[in-house]
């Protein structure tokens, strides 16, 4: 009887320790995202200041940016947040098949966004050195694109890890953190889209 109680207490202690460890990891990851937010907010503030104080804001010969294709890319990227949420829910139900399908769909939507951005860049009539607007445009969209690419790599990692037997039986920190990062990337893009494409 004493052996059973000791074993039960040990298991309970291990579970509590695991939960505390998961909580600490998530707290650290949230702090990381907050630091990333500060960087983006600094860029946003700089963009707004430059735009409101720079004469002839747009490069010579450029009257504005095409909105239609970036808007479609925006819809796809924002919708991918819902898809990765479905992946999380599937994993909570231990449905690895749907988890993988939703994860691959999220990666495909993110890749579509990056390809769309590359096509847009290729068709623009200005470059990184085309005045303050050119520099800030490529800096903001490029830095965000790097985050999208990072998010896709993180999803690829957790997808591969899902094929390790028992790997996701308990604790899903990697999945939760990756999903949170992806939501963060989407929110940042919404702000960017409004600043760059809507507010011209």
Q: Terminus-to-terminus CA distance in the chain, angstroms?
A: 74
CA dist., res. 131 & res. 129, Å (int): 6
Give me the half-sphere count of Cα atoms (radius 13 Å) on the Cβ side of residue 145.
Answer: 19
Asked if residue 189 lies in contact with residue 140, where contact means CB atoms within 8 angstroms, the answer is: no
Q: What is the pTM of this model?
A: 0.87
Length of the chain: 200
CA dist., res. 80 & res. 85, Å (int): 8
Rg, the chain, Cα only: 22
Q: Closest Cα to residue 106, out of 185, 26, 192?
A: 185
DSSP classification of residue 166: T
pLDDT digits (tens, 9 = 90+) for 42-78: 999 999 999 999 888 998 888 889 999 999 999 999 9
pLDDT digits (tens, 9 = 90+) for 169-198: 776 889 999 999 999 999 999 999 999 999
Structure tokens at 35: 């630091």
């Amino acid at each position: 009887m004493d052996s059973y109680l000791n074993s039960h207490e040990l298991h309970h202690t291990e579970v509590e320790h695991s939960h505390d460890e998961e909580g600490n990891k998530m707290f650290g990851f949230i702090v990381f995202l907050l630091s990333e937010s500060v960087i983006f907010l600094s860029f946003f503030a700089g963009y707004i200041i430059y735009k409101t104080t720079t004469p002839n804001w747009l490069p010579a010969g450029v009257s504005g940016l095409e909105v239609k294709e970036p808007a479609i890319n925006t819809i796809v990227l924002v919708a991918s947040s819902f898809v990765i949420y479905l992946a999380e829910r599937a994993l909570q139900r231990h449905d690895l098949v749907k988890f993988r399908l939703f994860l691959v769909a999220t990666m495909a939507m993110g890749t579509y966004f990056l390809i769309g951005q590359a096509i847009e860049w290729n068709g623009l009539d200005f470059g990184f050195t085309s005045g303050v607007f050119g520099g800030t445009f490529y800096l903001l969209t490029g830095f965000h694109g790097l985050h999208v690419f990072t998010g896709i790599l993180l999803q690829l990692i957790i997808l591969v890890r899902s094929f390790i037997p028992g790997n996701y039986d308990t604790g899903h920190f990697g999945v939760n953190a990756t999903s949170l990062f992806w939501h963060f990337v989407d929110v940042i893009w919404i702000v960017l889209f409004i600043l760059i494409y809507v507010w011209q």
